[in-house]
Amino acid sequence: MSLTTPSTVRPLPQVTWGRVRQSRRTADRIMKVTAAGFTFLAIFVLFWILGMLVVKGLGGLSAATFTQITPGPGSEGGGLANAIVGSMVLTFLGIAVATPIGVLAGTYLAEYGKGSKLADLIRFINDILLSAPSILIGLFVYVIMVEPLGGYSGWAGGVALGIIAIPVIVRTTEDMLRLVPGPLREAGSALGAPPSVVITSITWRAAKSGMVTGILLALARIAGETAPLIFTALNNNFWFSPNLLGGVSNLPVTIYQFASAPYENWQQLAWAGSLIITVSILVLSIIARRIVRGGK
Amino acid sequence: MAAVTDQMAPGAHVARKTPKGTFDIVFRNASFLSALFVLVLLAGIMLSMVIGGWPAFREMGLGFLTSSVWDTQNDQYGALPAIVGTLSTALIALVIGVPLSLGIAVYLTQLAPPWFKQPVSTAIELLAAVPSIIYGMWGLFVFVPLWAAYVQVPLSNIIEGMPIIGTVLYSRSPSGLGILTAGIILAFMIIPFIASIVRDMLDQIPSVLRESAYGIGATTWEVVRHVLVPQAGVSIIGAVMLGLGRALGETMAVTFVVGNANRLSASIMDPGSTIASRIANEFNEALGLQLNALIALGCILFFVTFVVLVIARILVARVKAF
C-alpha cells in the first residue's frame, strides 16, 4: 500500500505542482531580494551619514576646536571649547538628576510593587514617557522653571535632560532587577536582612552591570538632545558663568545655530561639533551594548 | 541554654532593629515616591501644556484648530497648517518606513546568515542612536540638494499639467525642502524603532510553528505571510503606532528640511511646517499671546501623541505576554 500509493499518485500532482511552484518561487525570491535590499538601504544610509560627518567634520577639527570658545558673528577662527564643556555639564547634571530617581523607581516596580495595580499603571506611564516627544519636555521645563525663575539657565537644561533620562533608567533598572533570581533574595531574607538591605547589597549588586548599561544608554540618549535645550539652557558664545544662570553654551544648540549661518567658520564648527557628538554617542551606545552582551 | 537564648534574642533584636528599621522605611518610601514621580511628571506635562496654552485657546476658541492664519502682528493664530503638516509628514514616514522596517525585521530573523545577524542588528540600532539634529544636517546639506536636482525638477517637468499627480507632486519652487522631504528623513529615523520591535516579536514566535510550515513545503515568503505575520499581527500594528508617536513629535530633523512655511498646499513637494518645527523655530522670539499659542500647539501635540502611544503600548504589551 505504502509503496503503490506514491507511484500512482505521483504523476498527477507533479503537473499542477510544477506550475504553481514557479510562481511561488518567484514570489519567494522577490520577497528575499526586497528584504535584503531594504536592510542594505538602511545600513547604506547609516554609513552615508557617518561618511558625511567624517568628510566634512574632520576638515573643521583642529586643536583650536578644543581650546578656543565659539566665535561671535563675523569674527575669525574660534573653537567649541565652551560648548563641549557646557554639554558635558548639562549632560552630567541630567544624569545626576535622573539616576537616583530612576534607579529607585525601577527598584520599586521590580521589588515592592509586584502585582500591584499602581505599579502596573506607573510602568505603563513610564513606557509612554519613554517615547514622548522631547520638545514637550522642553516646553514643560520652560513653563515650570524658566518662566517662574525669570531666565534661561543650565539648571533648567539639566532638569529637562534628566526628565528625558528618567524613563530610560526606570525601564532598564526594572528589567535588570527582574533577571535576578528569586532564591538570591530569599537567601538574604533568611539571614535576617530587611528588604532594603537585601535590595541594596544583594539584588543591586547582582544587577549592577545591567543598571550601569541603563545609565549609559540614558547618557547616550540625552547627549545629543537639542529641542529641549532650546527652551531651557539656550546657548551663548562665551564661557558660561559657574552658577549656570543665563544661557549655557552647548554643542547641539550651537550646531543648530551655526549650521545654516552665513559664516564659513561657523559652518565648519557645526560640522566638527556634529562629528564629535555623533562619535561620542555611538561609542557610548556600543560600550553599553558590549556590557549587556558580556553580562549575559 | 535554650531559655537564655530565648531571653537574649528579643532584646538584641530590638536594639539592633531600630536603625535598620528606619533605613528600611526610608528606603521603601523613597523608592515609592520616585515611582510616583513618574506619574507626577506625566500629569505635570499635561497640566503645564493646558495652562500655558489656555490664553490662546480662550482667545481663538475653536478657530485655533481650524484657522490657518498665523499673524504675529495682529495676534491671530491658527494651528491648521501645522496640524496638517504634522499628520502628513508622519503619514509619509509610515508609508515609506513601515515596509522598510518589516523587510529589515524579516531579513534579520529569517534570511541573514547567523554571523551576519549581529553586526546588521547593531547597525540598525545605531540608526536610532544618531541624534535628530544630525539627521537634520544630513537632510539639509546632502539629501535636499540631490532631491531638488534629481527628483523635484525632472518630476515636475514630466507631470506638469497632469490631473491629480500634477498637483500633488508638483513643486512650484524646487528647493528640495518640503513635506515629502521631511517624511523621507523621518522614515529613516523611525525604522530602527519599528524594525527592532518587530524583530523581537518574530524571534519570540515558537519555531515549531515555522518548522511545521516549512515541513509541509511552504516557501520562506509563505511562512512569513501566512504564519509569522498573523502570529505577530497586533504587535506589528503596535510597533507601527510607536513609530508614529516618534514621527509626530520629531523636532530638529524636521525643522531643518520642512521649509517652515505657514501654508496649506495641495502638493507634498511644497514647504510646510509641523507643530514641533513651528515651536522650535519661533519660541525664542515669541512674546505674549504668540508664546501661549505655541504652548497650545504643544498641548495639541501632547494629546495626539499620548493617544497614539497609549494604543501602541496596549497592542505591543498584549503580544509580549504570549
Domains assigned to chain B: 63-321 (1.10.3720.10)
d(CA B172, CA A10): 64
What's the confidence (pLDDT) of residue B248? Answer: 93
Shortest distance between the Cα of B153 and any Cα of chain A, in A, equals 23
d(CA A201, CA A264): 55
What's the confidence (pLDDT) of residue A3? Answer: 46
User: Which residue has 519652487 as its cell numbers?
Assistant: B173
Q: Do A39 and B108 touch (CB under 8 A)?
A: yes
- B 127-186: CB under 8 A from A: 127, 129-138, 140-142
d(CA B133, CA A281): 13
Pick the more confident residue, B8 or A101: A101
Pick the more confident residue, B72 or A210: A210
What's the confidence (pLDDT) of residue A9? Answer: 46
What's the confidence (pLDDT) of residue B20? Answer: 61
- The average confidence (pLDDT) of chain A is 86
- Confidence class of residue A147 from pLDDT cuts 50, 70 and 90? confident
Q: What is the tens place of the pLDDT at every residue in A153-200?
A: 899 999 999 999 999 999 999 999 999 999 999 999 999 888 899 999
Between CA A147 and CA B128, with CA A270 as vertex, the angle to 5 degrees is: 80
Shortest distance between the Cα of B86 and any Cα of chain A, in A, equals 13
- Contact B77/A at CB under 8 A: no
Q: Above pLDDT 70, what percent of chain B? A: 92
What's the confidence (pLDDT) of residue B189? Answer: 94
Q: Is the pLDDT of residue B277 over 80?
A: yes
CB within 8 A of B119, min separation 6: which ones?
none
Q: Is the pLDDT of residue B321 over 50?
A: no
Q: Three-state SS across chain A? A: CCCHHHHHHCHHHHHHHHHHHHHHHHHHHHHHHHHHHHHHHHHHHHHHHHHHHHHHHHHHCCHHHHHCCCCCCCCCCCCCHHHHHHHHHHHHHHHHHHHHHHHHHHHHHHHHCCCCHHHHHHHHHHHHHHCCCHHHHHHHHHHHHHHHHCCCEHHHHHHHHHHHHHHHHHHHHHHHHHHCCHHHHHHHHHCCCCHHHHHHHHHHHHCHHHHHHHHHHHHHHHHCCCHHHHCCCCCCCCCCCCCCECCCCCHHHHHHHHHCCCCHHHHHHHHHHHHHHHHHHHHHHHHHHHHHHHHC
Give the mean pLDDT of A48-54.
93
Q: What is the tens place of the pLDDT at every residue in A195-208?
A: 899 999 999 999 98
d(CA B139, CA B131): 13
In this complex, the residue of A32, A41, A127 whose CB is nearest that of residue B111 is A32
Which residues in chain A touch residue B106, judged by CB atoms under 8 angstroms apart?
A: 31, 35
Q: What is the tens place of the pLDDT at every residue in B95-108?
A: 999 999 999 999 99
Choose from A53, A168, A196, A225 for mutation: most chain B CBs within 10 A: A196
pTM of this structure: 0.87
Give the mean pLDDT of A43-64.
90
Cell of A291: 556590557
What's the confidence (pLDDT) of residue B10? Answer: 41
What's the confidence (pLDDT) of residue B18? Answer: 52
- Contact A102/B at CB under 8 A: yes
Task: Give the residue from chain A lying closest to B33, CA to CA.
Answer: A105
Give the mean pLDDT of A21-39.
89
Q: Is the pLDDT of residue B15 over 70?
A: no
What's the confidence (pLDDT) of residue B146? Answer: 92
- A 154-173: CB under 8 A from B: 163, 166-167, 170
CB within 8 A of B253, min separation 6: which ones?
B132, B133, B135, B136, B139, B182, B185, B186, B189
What's the confidence (pLDDT) of residue B1? Answer: 41
Q: Is the pLDDT of residue B67 over 90?
A: no
Q: Work out how many CB contacts closer than 8 A connect A with B.
A: 259
Q: Is the pLDDT of residue B165 over 80?
A: no
- Confidence class of residue B256 from pLDDT cuts 50, 70 and 90? very high
Q: Is the pLDDT of residue A10 over 70?
A: no
* Sign (positive or negative) of CA dihedral A16, A21, A24, A30: negative
Q: Above pLDDT 90, what percent of chain A? A: 52
The Cβ-side half-sphere exposure at B137, using a 13 Å CA radius, reads 34
Phi, psi of B103 (to 5 degrees): -60, -45
d(CA A232, CA A260): 22
Q: Do A231 and B283 touch (CB under 8 A)?
A: yes
- Contact A24/B at CB under 8 A: yes
Which residues in chain B touch residue A52, judged by CB atoms under 8 angstroms apart?
A: 137-138, 141-142
The Cβ-side half-sphere exposure at A93, using a 13 Å CA radius, reads 21
What's the confidence (pLDDT) of residue B4? Answer: 43
In this complex, the residue of B45, B126, B219 whose CB is nearest that of residue A140 is B45
Q: Do B38 and A36 touch (CB under 8 A)?
A: no
Q: Is the pLDDT of residue B8 over 90?
A: no
In this complex, the residue of A28, A108, A230 whose CB is nearest that of residue B34 is A108
Give the mean pLDDT of B297-309.
94
What's the confidence (pLDDT) of residue B33? Answer: 94
Least confident span in A120-129, A137-146, B7-16, B44-53 = B7-16
Shortest distance between the Cα of A67 and any Cα of chain B, in A, equals 23
CA A121 to chain centre: 24
Pick the more confident residue, B17 or B181: B181
What's the confidence (pLDDT) of residue A150? Answer: 82
* Sign (positive or negative) of CA dihedral A127, A128, A129, A133: positive
* Neighbouring-strand partners of residue A245: A153
Task: Give the residue from chain B lying closest to A24, CA to CA.
Answer: B219
What's the confidence (pLDDT) of residue B13? Answer: 45
Q: Is the pLDDT of residue B140 over 70?
A: yes
In this complex, the residue of B35, B122, B123 whose CB is nearest that of residue A122 is B35
Phi, psi of A72 (to 5 degrees): -75, 175
DSSP B243-269: HHHHHHH--HHHHHHSB------S-TT
Phi, psi of B159 (to 5 degrees): -90, 0
- Contact A291/B at CB under 8 A: no
Which residues in chain B touch residue A36, judged by CB atoms under 8 angstroms apart?
A: 107, 111
Pick the more confident residue, A39 or B59: A39
- Confidence class of residue A294 from pLDDT cuts 50, 70 and 90? low
Q: Is the pLDDT of residue B6 over 70?
A: no
d(CA A35, CA A16): 29
Give the mean pLDDT of B226-241.
88
Least confident span in A105-114, A227-236, B153-162 = B153-162
Which residues in chain A touch residue B22, judged by CB atoms under 8 angstroms apart?
A: none
Q: Above pLDDT 70, what percent of chain A? A: 92
- Contact A197/B at CB under 8 A: yes
Which residues in chain B touch residue A45, judged by CB atoms under 8 angstroms apart?
A: 127, 188
What's the confidence (pLDDT) of residue B305? Answer: 94
In this complex, the residue of B36, B126, B142 whose CB is nearest that of residue A52 is B142
In this complex, the residue of B32, B103, B221 whose CB is nearest that of residue A28 is B221
- Contact A55/B at CB under 8 A: no
- Confidence class of residue A252 from pLDDT cuts 50, 70 and 90? very high
Q: Is the pLDDT of residue B23 over 90?
A: no
Task: Give the residue from chain B lying closest to A144, CA to CA.
Answer: B48
- Contact A257/B at CB under 8 A: no
Q: Is the pLDDT of residue A248 over 60?
A: yes
